[in-house]
Amino acid sequence: MQILVTGAAGYIGSHVVKQLLEQTDYEIIIIDNLSTGFQNTIDTLKKLDSTNKRIKFYNQDLSQWEKVEEIFKENDIKEIIHFAAFSQVAESMTNPIKYYSNNTINTTNLVKVASDYGVEKFIFSSTAAVYGDVTSENIPIKEDLAKDPINPYGSSKLFSESIIKDVASINANFKYVILRYFNVAGADIDGKVGENHDPETHLIPLVVKTALGKRDSIKIFGDDYDTEDGTCIRDYIHVCDLADAHIQALKYLETNPSDIFNCGYGYGYSVKEVVEAVKKVSNIDFKVDIEKRRIGDPAVLISDNTKIKTKMNWTPKYNDLELICKTALEWEKRI
Ligand SMILES: NC(=O)c1ccc[n+]([C@@H]2O[C@H](COP(=O)([O-])OP(=O)(O)OC[C@H]3O[C@@H](n4cnc5c(N)ncnc54)[C@H](O)[C@@H]3O)[C@@H](O)[C@H]2O)c1
């Protein structure tokens, strides 16, 4: 059985491909244009394939519709996990067209080809950014909360969600699971793959880079929020638990209808708690600068994960902040 994974040269996609290799017997077709992903990640994944036959890599931009269609003609793709996208919120505010083109238009094309070529399962990487600026009475966030993104990145993903749902509504053969990730963090427990964004904008890799002397200090944006220690609280999910949610989503669709799930642990940590956790696991002290709040940072974002835990066979294994920080630190030492 063949599965297409787009964006597998990147952070989350590479962890999912590793688990697909370990836990399933899929032949894995990868499409990635290496815009933010890495050839050496593909090389690592190929080395993890003991048969040497299960990974087929196409260095291909999804915007080239006809070439993408050729890949569907050459293979027998019935399942897709679609990670390929741009995901920097700040960049999406200054260059919205880049985000709508890649995240929405390219997804539209992929969904069209998928539907035309008889794809039966489509797993989509969405984001908590679709919810927008959530007020405290709506925390933890449930999937059915009104969606009101406050940046083009969140909007580009919400449009894609609608396109996927609308195509499924006219093609009974085409089922989807949309996964809305909260703050993805950490690295593979075996240390084979990890996070590598350039520029890095996520808190945990920035803090571990600071601990390792790759940055002079870590900036905390605002310590006057209405939270216990005044800093923002986020729901960090270990990338290996998130990867498992994708494997479970494929199984879920065998007997269940399309659906949407939050992916988080249902509780949060403050920025200061993350900084302290990294100091503890690294045993290194480093400089912390308190800056003014950034526009658009809500005080608290925490998922309600009841739905994924009760409807899908998903049980988190790595829900431990120190473990998340330790795996991120070990990975950062290697790159
Ligand atoms: N990292 C997070 O915390 C987070 C949170 C919520 C949602 N997401 C979503 O998860 C997905 C994966 O995120 P990530 O952190 O692994 O990002 P990443 O940048 O590490 O990986 C994205 C991959 O997609 C590839 N790609 C991008 N555009 C492409 C195109 N047009 N054609 C072919 N390949 C293309 C890139 O080269 C890269 O390998 C994205 O859709 C992102 O929006 C990530």
pLDDT one-digit tens code per residue, 285-305:
999 999 999 887 889 999 999
pLDDT at position 295: 80
DSSP state of 156: H
Q: Do residues 240 and 328 make contact, with C-beta atoms less than 8 angstroms apart?
A: no
Same domain, 317 and 246: no
Q: Which CATH number is 140's domain given?
A: 3.40.50.720
Same domain, 124 and 165: yes
Residue 322 lies in a domain: yes
Same domain, 229 and 240: no
Tokens 């984001």 appear where? 127
Q: Is 153 designated active site?
A: yes
Same domain, 180 and 31: yes
Cα 311 to middle of ligand 1, angstroms: 26
DSSP state of 303: B
Same domain, 247 and 276: no
Burial class (CB in 10 A: 0-12, 13-18, 19+), 230: middle
Q: Any bridge partners for residue 238, and if so which?
A: 185
pLDDT at position 165: 98
Residue 321 lies in a domain: yes
pLDDT at position 27: 98
Q: What region does 219 belong to: left with phi over 0, alpha with psi -120 to 50, or beta? A: beta
Q: Is the CB of 161 under 6 A from ligand 1?
A: no
Same domain, 151 and 214: no
Contacts of 210 (CB under 8 A, 6+ apart): 216, 217, 218, 278, 286, 287
Cα 88 to middle of ligand 1, angstroms: 10
Same domain, 59 and 156: yes
The domain boundary, picked from 219, 247, 263, lies at: 263
Same domain, 208 and 324: yes
Same domain, 300 and 171: no
Q: Which CATH number is 301's domain given?
A: 3.90.25.10
pLDDT at position 156: 98
Cα 206 to middle of ligand 1, angstroms: 18
Two tokens at 68? 């993408």
Residue 258 lies in a domain: yes
Q: Is the CB of 124 under 6 A from ligand 1?
A: no
- Type of residue numbered 2: Q
Residue 73 lies in a domain: yes
Residue 245 lies in a domain: yes
Residue 194 lies in a domain: no
Q: Which residue's CA lies nearest to atom 43 of ligand 1?
A: 87
Please count the structural domains in the chain.
2
Residue 248 lies in a domain: yes
84-to-7, 26, 56, 241, 282 alpha-carbon distances in Å: 4, 20, 16, 19, 32
Q: Do residues 181 and 242 make contact, with C-beta atoms less than 8 angstroms apart?
A: yes
Same domain, 54 and 36: yes
Same domain, 246 and 315: no
Q: Is the CB of 173 under 6 A from ligand 1?
A: no
DSSP state of 58: E
Residue 177 lies in a domain: yes
Residue 299 belongs to what domain range?
Answer: 203-234+267-334
Among residues 100, 153, 181, 318, which one is catalytic? 153
Report residue 281 CA to chain centroid gap.
24
For the chain, which residues score pLDDT lower than 50?
none
Q: Is the CB of 85 under 6 A from ligand 1?
A: yes
pLDDT at position 294: 87
Can you give 93-109 as a three-state secondary structure string?
A: HHCHHHHHHHHHHHHHH
Cα 292 to middle of ligand 1, angstroms: 29
The secondary element (H helix, E strand) that includes residue 288 is: strand 287-291
∠168-169-173 over CA atoms, to 5°?
50
Same domain, 108 and 11: yes
Closest listed residue to residue 31, CA positions, set 115, 132, 114: 114
Coil, helix or strand for 44? helix
